[in-house]
Amino acid sequence: MAASGWLYYCTYTDDVNISLQQLRQTVFDRREFTLPGDVIDGTDAATLAKSAPPTSDLQKLLKISQELDQALKGLGFDTADSEQQTRDVGRLLEQVDKKGFVFAAREALESSSTPPATIDELIAQCAEAGTHSILDIQQISPTPQSGAATALSDDQLQTLFGTIQPTRDMIQSAEQSGKLHTHCERWRAVFLTVYEAGQPVEYVFVGVSGD
């Protein structure tokens, strides 16, 4: 699945980080994010079959994992979690041999798709795939960095809107033209304040995330 571009408006407060965290909780509560199983459900069997790795490669991965578990266990490491993951891979391969990759992949995701109770659980469950939402952005940062939102500068605002106090209409126009997302790299976001009659009324967060 490709990365997703997104945009959210939220309540203005004196502390933008508070507004961000309130927004993230709202998005989580509304279930406005993508789980790995959602991608499988929305993909046809033919496409999934084409993306399947060769069974021989999976067998090699399983053997390496088994050998690594044994080696680490011999050195005294706690390998309980890794051994469980190795067994899961083994069961997946058994299903691939019996029923094919598409069925096995869907069955594995269904069995592991326990609804997350918290945002942290969701982030861990999605791992490198991300949530394709503002939930992938965890903090405010003065400089661009992964997992953070950075304020657009006055110069950037002037270039985009001809003012440092843009209205929602101006922002919607910039969104429709695609200009806003040109300021976003994957796994990062930008934010700006929305004004009405010269007064701040909202924040808007714009970003790109997910694999």
List, for residues 42-97, the tens digit of each pLDDT value: 555 566 556 666 777 778 877 888 888 889 888 888 888 788 878 877 777 777 77
Rounded (10°) angle between helices 55-74 and 80-99: 160
pLDDT of residue 129: 86
Query: Of 156, 177, 171, nearest to 201 (Cα)?
Result: 171
Rounded to the nearest 5°, which phi and psi values hold at 149? Answer: -110, 135
Rounded CA gap, 193 and 137, in Å? Answer: 17
With a CB cutoff of 8 Å and minimum separation 6, the contacts of 125 are 35, 36, 114, 116
Strand 148-151 relative to strand 199-209, pairing: unpaired
pLDDT of residue 153: 97
C-beta of residue 9 within 8 angstroms of C-beta of residue 204: yes
- Amino acid at the residue 131: T
pLDDT band at 126 (very low <50, low <70, confident <90, very high): confident
| Digit-coded pLDDT (tens) for 3-21 | 899 999 999 999 999 999 9
Identity of the highest mean pLDDT range in 64-68, 104-108, 133-137: 133-137
